Amino acid sequence: MPGLHPTLSLGNELNLLAAGFFLLATFGLVATRQVLDCVSVFAWQSLMLAVSAGLVASETGLTHLYAVAAITVMTKSLLIPWLLARTSSSAVVARREISQTLTVPTSLLIALGLATLAYFLAAPLEAAAPGAHVGVNLPIGLATLLIGAFTVTVRREALPQVLGILSMENGAFFAGVAIAPDLPLFAELAAAFDVLVIALVMGLLTRKLHERTGSTTVADLTELREE
């Protein structure tokens, strides 16, 4: 059937495109080897989230979603990457590769499996939450949530793990703007501020860790030391 979706509006089409790049960025977070590249991939992912929120806003006429989009761009794609790049010590950034428990191809394949799983998991849920973009945003948000959790388990170093957690948060928001677009702005503000503080604290912690132990490999941190 050539004409499966002949009547998609421009807003829908653009939201789909944003969703596509959002998913790509999620895969990028699993596969990118350099720390700074990871941070910029995260910035792109957040930008795509903001685009999707803005499109949902223009579709539903809810003005506070524009504010959500603006907050997302400000904090997640500008402030947090800047903070993380700033607070992490130059030694972490300069080292070329992040160590991983699985090889990149294997973890990408698992991430792909998770995305497919999310697609099948989301299918029965879509009926419960009617809305313009639920069909796309829910499975992709769910996929990002799962892949973010997977990133945290597969990466050995602190900074990429933080990015994994933040991308889980992004995934939840990506599904959230479609499922519950009339969530009060206050909740979004609180979440954005929360994430900012998390990023700052984790960034400083990684820097401190690196100064003390000479590495940010989480697996090495198994013992407490008395001073």
Partner 1 sequence: MITSLLFNVLQVLVVLVFAPLIVGINAWLRERLQSKRGPSVFQPYFDIWKLFHKDEIVSEHSTWIFRAAPYVVFVTPLFVALLIPVLTSYPLFFAFMGDMLGGGFILALGGFFVTLAAIDTANPYGPMGASRTRMVGFLAEPVFMIVFFTVSVVAGSTIPYIVQQRWVHPIGSFFDPAHVLLLIAFFMLIIAETGRLPVDNPSGHFELAMIDESKALEYSGTGAALMKWGGAMKLFVLLSIFLNVLVAPWGLASTHRLGAVLGAVPLVLAKMIVCILALVGVESSFAKLRLFRITEFLQAAFVVSVAALLIRLMES
CB of 95 to partner 1, least distance (A): 17
Classify residue 60 as exposed, middle or buried by CB count within 10 Å of its CB (0-12, 13-18, 19+).
middle
Comparison of 13 and 211: residue with beta carbon closer to partner 1: 13
Question: Can residue 129 be called a binding residue for partner 1 (CB under 8 A)?
Answer: no
How many residues sit in the footprint of partner 1 (CB under 8 A)?
Answer: 31
CB of 90 to partner 1, least distance (A): 23
130 near 121, Cβ under 8 Å? Answer: no
Q: Which of 54, 139, 164, 181 binds partner 1 (CB under 8 A)?
A: 139
Q: Which of 60, 66, 95, 119 binds partner 1 (CB under 8 A)?
A: 119
Question: Can residue 178 be called a binding residue for partner 1 (CB under 8 A)?
Answer: no
**Site residues (CB under 8 A) for partner 1?**
1-2, 4-6, 8, 10, 13-14, 16-17, 19-21, 23-24, 27, 31, 104-105, 108-109, 111-112, 115-116, 119, 135-136, 139-140
